[in-house]
Amino acid sequence: MKTPETAQIRKPLGVSYRTFSQGEESTLLTILDDALGSFADVPRTRSALHSPRFDPLGCFIAEENHTPIGWVAATSLPRDNWFVIRYLSVKHATVRTNIAESLLERATKYVESKEPEFLRATTPAIEPYVQVYRKYGFKPLRRDFRISWQMHDEPQTKKSSLETEEVSDKTIEDASSLYARALSPYWDWRTEEEAGITTVTESFKQDRSRGARWVLARLDKEPVGLVGLIPDYYGPGEAWFRGAFVLPAHRGKGIGSALMSVIHTFAKNLSQRKMTVYTFSYMDSLAPGAILYLKSGGKIEAEYLQLTRTWGGLSRSQESNA
């Protein structure tokens, strides 16, 4: 029989908030997976939690009766004074909207304390998260899609005169330079977030050192495009497709479609059964990359939103991002 003292000890303690402590990564990943289900990208989140840009003081955890039930993280972007808020996730969020709001409020105040020049957020395009961001002044900026291919589905492509070779130490400089130039103009916003072309090219090289396999394509001996993946990233036989990129001067020649055929064969030769990419689109239309991926047989698995919040005094270029 419960005594009054026992009943008092077991009385619900309510919700409290605190910052991240070292060693809690697995707890946060479990919350993210439970809260967002198929919308969660656990491997990429795990990598971000171990990134130099992750700040424990910008990661806030909600606890109910001392049990973590939600979290959010505000992390820096490579460009000085630019930030992104992500991973807002709460177990049973539809009946705990107030907890999601409290977490976002803390993350936003943390960024405000840094006197930011730019702030972006990203979230699955599901409720109540989108509405929570809207409540705190965030406005939709772009859409992101997660698109996947099953390797048993053959892409419909025409014959190509492309010459291809896997990127090696000998060709890494040419490939990284091509990659940075091929992002323009559609991905200029990402180059700006990455603090410029130099950072982008270095990031490409680091991506290869983390296991990315890239194929360089030439037309009449001239490098014109790239396509790549990280095999087994999401599990045995499940690759992270890093995208297909064509130099602006060579677009409209069918090179993108040819590259999709190349990566399809390349993935199968690496015993990959599936590959998945995250790519952006505009709010009111599909970006060329998304169109290419869908035309090559990719299927949309999930949709996300990039949102932004502005403060006074932003430069014109920053306002254009917002």
DSSP notation for 269-299: HTT-SEEEEEEEE-SSS--HHHHHHHHTT-E
Number of domains present in the structure of the chain: 2
The pLDDT assigned to 311 comes to 67
Say if CB 318 and CB 117 are below 8 A apart.
yes
**Average per-residue pLDDT in the chain?**
91
Residue 116: inside a domain: yes
Answer yes or no: do 166 and 293 share one domain: yes
Residues 40 and 167 in one domain: no
Say which range, 8-12, 158-162, 290-294, has the weakest mean pLDDT.
8-12
Has residue 196 been placed in a domain?
yes
Does 172 have pLDDT greater than 70? yes
pTM of the complete model: 0.89
**pLDDT, average across residues 18-28:** 96
Same domain, 299 and 173: yes
Whether residue 106 is found in the same domain as residue 182 = no
Read off the pLDDT of residues 253-282 as tens digits, 9 standing for 90 and up. 999 999 999 999 999 999 999 999 999 999
Q: Which domain holds residue 26?
A: 14-137
Asked whether the CA dihedral 31, 32, 33, 35 is positive or negative, the reply is positive
pLDDT of residue 8: 43
In the chain, the DSSP E strands lie at 15-19, 59-64, 67-76, 82-90, 118-124, 139-150, 163-166, 213-219, 222-235, 238-246, 274-281, 299-309
DSSP string, 54-91: --GGGEEEEEETTEEEEEEEEEE-SSTTEEEEEEEEET
Amino acid at 303: E
pLDDT at 159: 65
* Interaxial angle between packed helices 42-49 and 25-36, expressed in degrees from 0 to 180 and rounded to the nearest 10: 150
